[in-house]
Amino acid sequence: MKLLLDFAPIVFFFIAYKLEGIYVGTAVLMAATTLQMAIIYLMDKKLSTMHKATLALILIFGTLTLVLQDERFIKWKPTVLYTAMAIALAVALWGFGKNFLKIMLGSQLSLPEPVWVRLNTIWVLYCLFMAAINGYVAAFYSTDAWANFKLWGYAFPVLFIIGQGFYVARHMSEPEPEPVNNSKDDPTLPPGSAQ
């Protein structure tokens, strides 16, 4: 359900772009993302920093695209977002010793500290890759090719999340085994005593 919700603004943008062009597509993307964030807020009672940044950048870059009638703003928005994420994760970890991923997900996942550091590094590399590939397509391909990439390029985050899930699953802490009670045959022995 959450993946469909994440995917919805891109689908609406793509349909609007194909029917009416980049400017209508941009307006639809802005509206769909605003609605998406409202739904997430109603479900979770909060928006994450990532959600707030995404909404802010879409509204800012979308407004610039529409007001200035310049499609480059909306095309470069993903590169700006991913670059900012990579910088924030890297500076927080290696500059200030703070792991944002652990801060955000530590209450949900129990992972050894070295795994959190590797996971943060993997996210930095992934964000830089996504920033670079979007920038490349935005700079060297037509707007039509970029719009197609926005839709079919969604495979990258899906594959990344699946791969990350497998990686995390391998390193999740095992629950402590319960002590074996050998005293069930002899009620005079205290629990855990050898017979």
pLDDT for res 127:
95
pLDDT at residue 115, as a whole number: 87
For residue 16, what pLDDT is reported? Answer: 94
Is 110 contained in some domain?
yes
Q: Measured between alpha carbons, how far is 10 from 158 in angstroms, rounded to an integer?
A: 14
Q: In this predicted model, what pLDDT tens digit does every residue of 21-57 receive, in sequence order?
A: 999 999 999 999 999 999 989 988 888 888 888 899 9
- Report pLDDT for 151: 84
Which of the two residues, 179 and 159, has the higher pLDDT score?
A: 159
**Cβ(114)–Cβ(59) below 8 Å:** no
Structure token pair of residue 53: 């940044």
Instruction: Kindly state whether residue 195 falls inside one of the protein's structural domains.
Output: no
**Does any domain span residue 118?**
yes
pTM beyond 0.85, yes or no: no
Residues 107-151 have pLDDT tens digits of 777 888 888 899 999 999 999 999 999 999 999 999 999 999 988
For residue 107, tell me if it sits in a domain: yes
* Structural domain range at position 32: 2-173
As to burial, measured by CB atoms within 10 angstroms (0-12 exposed, 13-18 middle, 19+ buried), residue 30 is buried
Predicted local distance difference test score (pLDDT) of residue 59: 94
Whether 26 is covered by a domain: the verdict is: yes
| Residue 9 domain flag | yes
Residue-level pLDDT at 189: 45
- Asked whether the predicted pLDDT for residue 73 surpasses 60, the reply is yes
Within-domain flag for 188? no
- Residue 149 in any domain: the answer is yes
Are the beta carbons of 93 and 117 closer than 8 angstroms? yes
Number of H helices, E strands in the chain: 9, 0
State how many domains the chain has.
Answer: 1
